[in-house]
Amino acid sequence: MRTQTSRPGFATALLLVTAALGSACAEWKAPAPPPGMPLAAPPREKKVSIKPKGFNTPGLKLAAFSSRFITDWLNADPSKGRELGLHEYDGRVADYDKTAILKRIDALTKARAELAAIDKAALSPNEALDQAVLLQQIDLYLFRAVDMAEWQKNPRFYEDLFGVNAYLDRDYAPIADRAKQLVTHEKAALLQVKHITANLSGPLSKAVTETAIKVYKGYVDYLQNDVVKQLKDVGDAAFQSEFKQTNSSLAAEAQKIVDHLTKVELPRADNSHVLGPDKYKKLLFVQEGLSTSLADFKAMGEKNLLENKKAYQALQKKAKISRPQASELLAGATKLMDASREFLVKKDLVTIPTEDKAVLKETPPFMRWNSAFLNPPGPYEKVATTAFYYITLPDPSWPKKEQEEYIMPWGTLLSTTVHEVYPGHFLQGQWERKAPTRVQMTFGAYSFIEGWAHYTEQMMLEEGFGADDPQNKLGQLSDALLRNCRFAASLGIHTEGLSLDQVAKRFQKDCFQDKATAREQAVRGTFDPGYFAYTLGKIQILELREEAKKKLGDKFSLKRFHDALLSHGSPAIPLIRDRVLAELGAQ
C-alpha cells in the first residue's frame, strides 16, 4: 500500500496488518470440552466412563483450543471479525474498561500455557503450523499490551470505536441495513469512549501524540462530513433523527480526545516511544520468530539497502521519467492491471485460484487517503466478494504543478499495480480464502503479507514484465529504497538513539525521498516499529527461493515455489520454511 496521507480507521500496516495484531480487549471465556465427543456406554454396572479412542489426542486438543480461541478472539475484537467478512460482528465494539483489558491479558497468558503444553511432535504439519501461528498471535498481542502498553501509551489503540467505514465501503447488504448496524456501532462506542482518557497514562510519546491528534481530527471530519453525506438519503425521518444525534455525539467525543491530547498530553510529551534493544529483540521474536542478533539484523538490512541504492544511482542516469496525465491515469492503471494478469498466465508463474478479478475505480471522496490501494474482501466474505483497486486523482482545486507531481510516474504506477493486485495483495488474498484451516485463514503476519507484495515487484521485472523500459526498474527500486529506509529507521529510532530529524535525513540522503515524505516515514517508525517487515519479508522469500533453487537444480519451478509459499495463508516465513522445502522435494 502506498500511503499518501493517513485516513481514519486504517492504521499502518498494514496497515492491513495492525488489525491482525489484535487491538481490542475482552474477557477470555473458560475452556470448553471438545464438542461432538460422547462418552461410550459402560459395559457393566460399574460406573466407569470410557472415552472413545483418541479423545485426548494432541490433534483434538488443538482443534478444540483453536475453535474456542478464534471465537473468543473475535468476540473480544469485533472489528477483526468485520475485517474478515464475518458480519455477525457488525454493530459491536470491544470492551475497553481497564478491568476487561487486564482480564484479557491474564486470560491470554493462561491460554498460551495451555496451547504450548500440546505436544507439537504428535501434530500433523497443518496442526503444528496452526499451533505456531496461534502462539505467535498471543505473544504479539501480549507484547503490544504489556511491553509496549499500547492501551495506556497510544491513543490510536481505540480507533475502532470511530472507524465506521466498514459499514460503508462494501455493499455486502442493503445500505439501509448497514446504516442501522452503523448506528448500533456508534451507540456501543459512545458507552466505551470514557475509557480512553481514563486508560491513557502520560507522559506519552510526542510523535505518537501528534499523530493521534491528526488522526482524531480526521475522525471528526469523517463523521461530520463523509458519513453524513453517504447516509443523507437513507431511511425514514425517525432513522435520520437517530443517526444524526448518535453520529454527531460520536464526532463530539472524537473532538474531546483531540482537546485532551492537545491540552493535557502534548505539553508533557516525551520520547517514550523508544523500545530499547531488549524490547526490540523481543519484537523480532514475537512478530517474526527471529532470534538473530541486532548486529546481524542490521547488517541484513544495510546490505540490501546498499545494493538497491547502487542500482538506483546507476539507472537514474539512463531512465527517462514520465508521468501519465490525470485524464489517462485510470485507463493506464487498468491496462497495467490486465497486462500483469495476462503475463502471469502466459509465463505460468503462479496458480490463479479463481476467475475473480479486481475492479479498478477512482477513489471515492470519503476514501481519498492514499494515492493507490486495494480494498479486498475478507477471506470469509460471502456476498461482497469483489476487490476494488482504487486510484486517487489529484484534487482539481490544487495548483497545477501540485496536481502534476501528485500523479506517480509510470514506473511507480507499474510497481504499485503489481504490489496491490497481480500478483501482490489481491492474488495473495485469493489464496488466503482457500487456506486449509481456519487459523491460517484468520491470522496473518505483517512480513508475509507485505513481504510477498514487495517481492512480486522485483520478481515480475526479473521475469520480464515491463523490463524493456528502464523507468519501470527505477520505479521498483525507488519503492524498494523507501522500504529499506524503514528498516534502518526502525533500528535507529528504537536501538541506536537516533532522533527523528536524523532518521528523516537518511530517508532523503540514502533513499531519495522528498522532505515531507521523509518526515512522515520517520514519524511512522515511532508507533509502527515493525515496519521493517516489507524488506524483511522480501529478503526471506528471496533467500528461501535461492535455497530451493540450489537444492533442486533443474527441477526447480518458480510456479511450484510460489504455490507452495501461498498455500498456508500468510504466516511468518520462518514458520513455513521447512514445510515449503518439503513440499517442493527440497528437504
DSSP of 549-569 = HHHHGGG--HHHHHHHHHTT-
For residue 119, what are the domain limits? Answer: 2-268
Q: Confirm whether 489 is domain-assigned.
A: yes
Cell of 84: 474478515
Cell of 570: 500468510
- Cβ atoms of 34 and 60 within 8 Å: the answer is yes
Q: Confirm whether 572 is domain-assigned.
A: no
Whole-angstrom distance, CA of residue 417 vs CA of residue 407: 14
CA separation, residue 293 to residues 41, 298, 308, 345, 534 (Å): 57, 9, 23, 41, 19
Q: Confirm whether 548 is domain-assigned.
A: no
The predicted pLDDT at position 54 comes to 56
Q: Which alpha helices (H) appear in 117-205, and where do they start and end? A: 125-142, 150-153, 175-192, 194-199
For residue 2, give the H/E element and its range.
strand 2-3
Cell of 263: 491540552
Domain identity same for 261 and 322: no
Cell of 238: 425517525
Residues forming beta bridges with residue 205, ordered by sequence position: 270
Whole-angstrom distance, CA of residue 415 vs CA of residue 468: 14
Q: Confirm whether 563 is domain-assigned.
A: no
Domain identity same for 57 and 193: yes
| 40: DSSP letter | B
Strands 388-391 and 2-3, by their bridges, are unpaired
Domain identity same for 62 and 205: yes
Task: Provide the sign of the torsion angle of the four alpha carbons 329, 334, 335, 339, taken in this order.
Answer: positive
Domain identity same for 190 and 300: no
Which of 534, 561, 580 terminates a domain? The answer is 534
Q: Per-residue pLDDT for the chain (587 aa), expressed as one digit of tens each? A: 433 333 233 333 333 333 333 333 332 222 333 333 333 333 333 444 444 555 689 999 999 999 999 999 999 999 999 999 999 999 999 999 999 999 999 999 999 999 999 999 999 999 999 999 999 999 999 999 999 999 999 999 999 999 999 999 889 999 999 999 999 999 999 999 999 999 999 999 999 999 999 999 999 999 999 999 999 999 999 999 999 999 999 999 999 999 999 999 999 999 999 999 999 999 999 999 999 999 999 999 999 999 999 999 999 988 999 999 999 999 999 999 999 999 999 999 999 999 888 999 998 765 676 788 999 999 999 999 999 999 999 888 888 888 888 899 999 999 999 999 999 999 999 999 999 999 999 999 999 999 999 999 999 999 999 999 999 999 999 999 999 999 999 999 999 999 999 999 999 999 999 898 899 999 999 999 999 999 999 999 999 999 999 999 999 999 999 999 999 999 999 999 999 999 999 88
Whole-angstrom distance, CA of residue 194 vs CA of residue 249: 13
pTM: 0.89
Give the type of residue at 483. R
Angle at which helix 558-566 crosses helix 533-552, to 10 degrees, equals: 130
Q: Confirm whether 553 is domain-assigned.
A: no
Tell me the backbone φ, ψ of residue 184, rounded to 5 degrees: -60, -40
Question: Residue by residue, what is the 3-state secondary structure of 572-586?
Answer: CHHHHHHHHHHHCCC
Whole-angstrom distance, CA of residue 56 vs CA of residue 80: 31
Report the side by side order of strands in the sheet with 388-391.
2-3, 370-375, 388-391, 359-362
Q: Which residue has the cell 487486564?
A: 102
Domain identity same for 316 and 420: yes
Domain identity same for 386 and 524: yes
Domain identity same for 218 and 300: no
Number of domains comprising the chain: 2
CA separation, residue 462 to residues 48, 370, 457 (Å): 67, 27, 9
Domain identity same for 220 and 72: yes
Q: Which residue has the cell 491515469?
A: 329
Q: Confirm whether 378 is domain-assigned.
A: yes
- Cβ atoms of 450 and 533 within 8 Å: the answer is yes
Whole-angstrom distance, CA of residue 469 vs CA of residue 326: 21
Q: Which residue has the cell 491460554?
A: 111
Domain identity same for 304 and 235: no
Question: Residue by residue, what is the 3-state secondary structure of 374-422?
Answer: EECCCCCCCCCCCCEEEECCCCCCCCHHHHHHHCCCHHHHHHHHHHHCC
Q: Confirm whether 525 is domain-assigned.
A: yes
In this structure, the dihedral spanned by the alpha carbons of residues 219, 222, 228 and 230, taken in order and rounded to 10 degrees, is -130
Whole-angstrom distance, CA of residue 462 vs CA of residue 246: 53
Whole-angstrom distance, CA of residue 549 vs CA of residue 83: 37
Which of 497, 515, 534 terminates a domain? The answer is 534
Which of 517, 534, 551 terminates a domain? The answer is 534
Cell of 565: 509459499
- Cβ atoms of 39 and 51 within 8 Å: the answer is yes
Q: Confirm whether 81 is domain-assigned.
A: yes
Closest by CA position to 560, among listed 548, 570, 550: 548
Domain identity same for 221 and 324: no
Strands 388-391 and 359-362, by their bridges, are parallel
Domain identity same for 200 and 254: yes
Residue 203 preceded by cis peptide, ω within 30: yes
Per DSSP, the chain holds a count of helices (H) and strands (E) of: 24, 4
Domain identity same for 262 and 307: no
Cell of 444: 496473518
- Cβ atoms of 416 and 392 within 8 Å: the answer is no
